[in-house]
C-alpha cells in the first residue's frame, strides 16, 4: 500500500474522531469561568478608574467646599474690621462737629441763664 494512502486513512480517522468528540455544554464552561476573575469576551469591561467628568466634579466640589470654609472664617473678620473703621470714622466726625457746632451753642445758652444766687 502506498504511503499517501495511509495518510488519507489517518486524516479520515482524525475527522471522524473530531466529529464524534463530545462537546462540553456552554453552562459547564461558564461555571468553570465563574471561579476566575477573567471576563468573558461578551462582557463589557468597565474601568475602575474614575472618568474625567467625575474627577472634575470632585475637584469642583472640593474647591467649593474650601471656598465656603474660607469665607466662613474670613468674612466676619473683614466685616468687623470695616465696621470698626466706619465706627471710628463716624465717632471722629461727630466729635469734630460737636466741638464746632454743638459746644458753642450750648455755651451760648448757658451764658444766657441767670447765675444761681
Given this model, what pLDDT does residue 83 score? 93
Q: Could you list the residue range(s) of the whole structural domain that residue 58 is in?
A: 51-117
Given this model, what pLDDT does residue 109 score? 85
Structure confidence at residue 88 as a pLDDT band (50, 70, 90): very high
Identify whether 4 is part of a domain: no
Looking at the 3D structure of the chain, how many domains does it have? 1
Work out the average pLDDT over 85-102: 93
List CB contacts of 39: < 8 A, sequence separation 6 or more.
Answer: 45
Identify whether 19 is part of a domain: no
Identify whether 17 is part of a domain: no
CA R_g for the chain: 49
Identify whether 88 is part of a domain: yes
Identify whether 28 is part of a domain: no
Identify whether 24 is part of a domain: no
C-alpha to C-alpha distance for 72 and 112, rounded to whole angstroms: 57
Highest mean pLDDT among 27-31, 89-93, 104-108: 89-93
Identify whether 40 is part of a domain: no
Q: For 46-76, write each residue's pLDDT tens digit.
A: 666 777 788 888 899 999 999 999 999 999 9
Identify whether 94 is part of a domain: yes
Amino acid at each position: 500500500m502506498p504511503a499517501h494512502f495511509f495518510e488519507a486513512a489517518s486524516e479520515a480517522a482524525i475527522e471522524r474522531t473530531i466529529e464524534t468528540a463530545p462537546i462540553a455544554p456552554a453552562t459547564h464552561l461558564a461555571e468553570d469561568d465563574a471561579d476566575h476573575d477573567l471576563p468573558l469576551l461578551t462582557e463589557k469591561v468597565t474601568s475602575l478608574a474614575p472618568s474625567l467628568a467625575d474627577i472634575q466634579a470632585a475637584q469642583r466640589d472640593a474647591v467649593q467646599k474650601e471656598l465656603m470654609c474660607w469665607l466662613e472664617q474670613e468674612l466676619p473678620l473683614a466685616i468687623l474690621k470695616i465696621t470698626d473703621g466706619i465706627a471710628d470714622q463716624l465717632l471722629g466726625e461727630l466729635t469734630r462737629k460737636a466741638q464746632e457746632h454743638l459746644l458753642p451753642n450750648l455755651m451760648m445758652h448757658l451764658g444766657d441763664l441767670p447765675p444761681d444766687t
